[in-house]
Structure 1
Amino acid sequence: MREELRVAAYAVCVREGHLLLARWVSPEGDRKWTLPGGGMEHGEDPYDTVVREAAEETGYTVDPTVLLGIDTKRRHHPRRLGTRLDFQALRIVYEARITGGDLRPETDGSTDLAAWHPLEEIPTLERVDLVDAALRLWRERPENGHLKPPAPH
């Protein structure tokens, strides 16, 4: 089984009860809302990653103010010729404030739209699981930056 690790940094930008999101377009064409952010380039600092990615995806300049924590997700995917991929996403989540720029969609990237959404409407959106994890980090602010698994129902 092939292993792959993707490290990325994301911004939680909340202003006047609204969350800034970018709409991610999957390789298959599905669209889901996500946080502004994305993959680190080799040798890049995560702080610089979130600043760069937020600008690319939203048009805004952001100032990461607090490291909220780290979320990780692991998935297994089938690959060609019957092989499998063990994929792990390591997602570094910052709280950030907007310091400049104008809202606009990304061109020729992995997102096609950026918008502010009322916090109370987030549960109704088609979104990636990172949005929920990041909002939990933002609301709960765990001292160690690690979310406890949700209690079983």
Structure 2
Amino acid sequence: MRIVGVVVAGGSSVFTRPLVHGADPHRLAWELGYRIVRPLSAAGVGDDLTLTVQVSAHGRRVAERGPQRRRALDPGLSQDEIGEPIVRQRLAAYAIVLSARGLLATEFSERTAVPHSWGLPGGGIDPGENPSQTVIREAVEETAQHIEISQLLDVQTDHWIGRSPSGIVEDFHAVRIIYAATCPDPTDPVVQDVGGTTASARWVPLQQWHRLHWAAGSRALLERHLTTLAARFGYRRRSAG
């Protein structure tokens, strides 16, 4: 995956860098003298993905890059179990999906590190698939809802050492492309990919979304974007419940 920074949408790039394992796009841009204003596009398929972001020069003095920030460690792992973990970078795409019934939420299953927590529909980008195709496919598999992508919204990363659903210890770098989407014809959500990482799905009235136990990354995205999106799409009043 590559990160391309432009000052003006459609303008020449001011930097192009690979997103190496463990790197965060915001820190990468900052150390090059820029802050990310907003993501503009996610083009390409699979691992051959280019994320173009609008940036502005921050004018701050940038200290030399120090040691990589310590990765989070699964508290259930002992030092003996860690050994030499498999290094894995996973590109994934998710969406904040709104409809007249509220916010679309998915519950993590026992196969994940955060069972019974709630998140956003989405998942890993398959070979030959672009991020928006991933979100549309995953929404059907996880919730049986047909959604329409509105805009590229955010990029989020996490980096930790832990066990995969198959039990393998991984040095895991999660890179998440986040979209805003709507569902014109919402129905009762049904998990079609039974036995996977999604236990259940539901529409959550917007005034009640904070009552669920959200995974940390999903909660951060909702706190940052949900109020603005609800107002933009005009769903606030209709989704009250």
AA aligned opposite 1:134: L
Aligned partners of 2:163, 2:129: CA distance in 1, in Å?
Answer: 30
Output the TM-score relative to the length of structure 2.
Answer: 0.50
Q: Which has the larger displacement, 26-35 or 106-115?
A: 26-35
Aligned partners of 2:133, 2:185: CA distance in 1, in Å?
Answer: 16
Aligned residues: 138
Q: Is 1:113 aligned to residue 113 of structure 2? A: no
Q: Residue 215 of structure 2 aligns with which residue?
A: 128
Output the TM-score relative to the length of structure 1.
Answer: 0.76
CA-CA distance at 1:62 after TM superposition:
0.7
Q: Residue 98 of structure 2 aligns with which residue?
A: 14
Aligned partners of 1:112, 1:26: CA distance in 2, in Å?
Answer: 8
Q: Deviations over 1:66-119 (max 9, x none)?
A: 10011111112279xxx9632111111100011346333213132132111133
Q: Is the 8 A contact 1:12 1:20 kept in 2?
A: yes
Q: Percentage identity across aligned positions?
A: 31
Greater RCO (CA < 8 Å, at least 6 residues apart): 1
Aligned partners of 2:205, 2:158: CA distance in 1, in Å?
Answer: 26
Q: Of the two, which has the highest radius of gyration?
A: 2
Which secondary structure does the structure 2 equivalent of 1:60 belong to?
coil
- Structure 1, gaps ≥5 residues long: 142-153
AA aligned opposite 1:14: L
- Structure 2, gaps ≥5 residues long: 1-83, 229-241
Q: Is the 8 A contact 2:93 2:131 kept in 1?
A: yes
The RMSD of aligned alpha carbons is 2.7
Alignment of 1:58-137 (within 5 A): 58-77=143-162, 85-100=170-185, 102-107=187-192, 108=194, 109-137=196-224
